[in-house]
Structure 1
Amino acid sequence: MKTLLALNWKMNKTPSEARSWAHELSEKYEPVPGVELAVMAPALSLSVLAANLPAGVGFGGQDVSEHESGAYTGEISAAMLADVGARYVVIGHSERREYHLETDAQVAAKAQRAQANGLTPIVCVGEKLDVREAGKQVPFTLAQLRASLAGVGEDLVVAYEPVWAIGTGKTATAQDAEEMAAEIRETLRELYGEGASEIRVLYGGSVKPDNIAEICGQPNVNGALVGGASLKVPDVLGMNDALR
């Protein structure tokens, strides 16, 4: 399977800035065999990316409604994302869980809705610092994973993001990432059988050009959910090239 670099812009870049970013990437991007790039952008920029990203670079949304359509002001449906050409959608990011109080049940419902519309959900799980300091990161994360995948098919990506390492400059070691990814993989086998071997498990949390190769070189880590380093094209190119 290809290593996936899912570039999560969060609430950054206007559509005009997204166009400039895509043009800069197009000028310098050289595909790496076995590596896939996909940009997770604000919904207003998705059509811009569809028209301006270099061939082979995908894109997706940062959230999706659990509802198919209807009177849900401000929501974005899976059908809308699919219609502009999105392949992926991030679901259950720790910021959504914390600031918008999203539950595991909502995450599962959103993932089901995404799959029903041909999108691949990137389902996020991970622990806060107090959980890790108590030594409970594995049972916590696996319980969150099982609940977030209730009723969800195997066409998905899982992103492990230790919350204490997101935007803090702190990074789990490659060994930490592999330990949790291996536990996630085993749980996926329980849920999906042999199909679990084809589900990509990403690591997210202060990933950058100088640590991505070691992290993605672990047996059960199949890519990264990249935050801050996704905003500058030189950093994206550096991460891409580090995986050659």
Structure 2
Amino acid sequence: MTTIDLNADLGEGFGRWRLTEDEQLLSVVTSANVACGFHAGDAATMRRVCELAAERGVTIGAQVSYRDLAGFGRRAMEVPPAELTAEVAYQIGALEVFARAAGARVAYVKPHGALYNRVVRDEEQADAVIDGVLLAGPALPVLGLPGSRLLALAGKAGLPAVPEAFADRAYTDEGTLVPRGRDGAVVTDPEAVVRRSLGLAVSGTVTALSGARVRVRARSLCLHGDTPGAVELARRVRARLVGADVRVEAFA
């Protein structure tokens, strides 16, 4: 039986501002990428999401980012490797406090936004992220784009490298994500997202922006929590997968 994990970016708010429907999404996904305060999230939000995730048996992951609260972590930044290593470890450690208080633990790490895209090809920045994961403690799995330098270096360091795919993001012919600034970078049609989710889970392929079929082998499927109708879309995706005899369970 085919098995897939469903992950979503959660806790993406700050103070009185909330972007994601955390409680509802936690009833659908199997892994929660929790913002750790650098692109979104604050202490109270992190604690609340960890408690909700633990109650529902959802695996908790640290979504680490460049220090870019104003830009939601989506702006290109130049951060010295040693500084990035320390900041990645810092974010993981902060989330671990709240995960353990909730009776759970941080079970994996996933970069966010500009950092996620940067470590697809940038060896130095990817190496700094891996060093940060190692500095934080146990051998945590790393979630990232298939074929990325991040996953290659994770495997080299002895960390489980977990490839993921995006049903609501357009792909290039090379299997990378189309930059958000380009037309068609985000797939907005709900039925198209559901079909792409099933294709990625079952056949490991997706139609690129050019129309070409691209192989994207993934163990986890990301459902963005900050899109309109995210909760209902996530429910539709999970229902379609289960209906096609795909087992939905966390990878960690």
* TM-score, scaled to structure 1: 0.55
Residues 83 and 107 (structure 1 numbering): CA distance in 2 closer, same or farther, change over 3 Å? Answer: farther
- The equivalent of 2:93 in structure 1 is 79
Matched, 1:46 2:56: no
Give, as a single letter, the amino acid of the residue that structure 1 aligns with 2:110: V
Structure-1 separation of matches of 2:127 and 2:88:
20
Structure 1 residues 155-208: Cα deviation after superposition (integer angstroms, max 9, x where no partner): 231336622165854589xxxxxxxxxxxxxxxxxxxxxxxxxxxxxxxxxx83
Per-residue deviation, 1:105: 2.6
TM alignment of 1:1-244, pairs within 5 A? 2-8=3-9, 12-14=12-14, 21-25=21-25, 29=27, 37-43=30-36, 44=42, 45-53=45-53, 54-63=55-64, 76-85=90-99, 86-91=106-111, 95-96=114-115, 103-115=122-134, 117-118=137-138, 119-124=140-145, 141=147, 144=149, 148-149=153-154, 151-159=156-164, 162-164=176-178, 169-170=184-185, 208-218=193-203, 220-227=217-224, 232-244=230-242
Point out where structure 1 has 5 or more consecutive residues left out of the alignment: 31-35, 126-140, 173-206
Structure-2 separation of matches of 1:23 and 1:97:
25
Report SS of the residue matched to 1:213: helix
Residues 233 and 89 (structure 1 numbering): CA distance in 2 closer, same or farther, change over 3 Å? Answer: same
Structure-1 separation of matches of 2:82 and 2:185:
36
Residues 218 and 99 (structure 1 numbering): CA distance in 2 closer, same or farther, change over 3 Å? Answer: closer
What percent identity do the matched residue pairs reach? 13
Point out where structure 2 has 5 or more consecutive residues left out of the alignment: 37-41, 67-80, 100-105, 166-174, 205-216, 243-252
Per-residue deviation, 1:49: 0.7
Q: Higher helix fraction: Structure 1 or Structure 2?
A: 1
On the 8 A contact 1:2/1:222 being kept in 2, the answer is yes
Report SS of the residue matched to 1:221: coil
Greater Cα offset, 40-49 or 102-111: 102-111
* TM-score, scaled to structure 2: 0.53
Report SS of the residue matched to 2:194: coil
On the 8 A contact 1:67/1:77 being kept in 2, the answer is no
Give, as a single letter, the amino acid of the residue that structure 2 aligns with 1:240: R
Residues 163 and 8 (structure 1 numbering): CA distance in 2 closer, same or farther, change over 3 Å? Answer: same
Report SS of the residue matched to 2:195: coil
Greater Cα offset, 93-102 or 150-159: 93-102
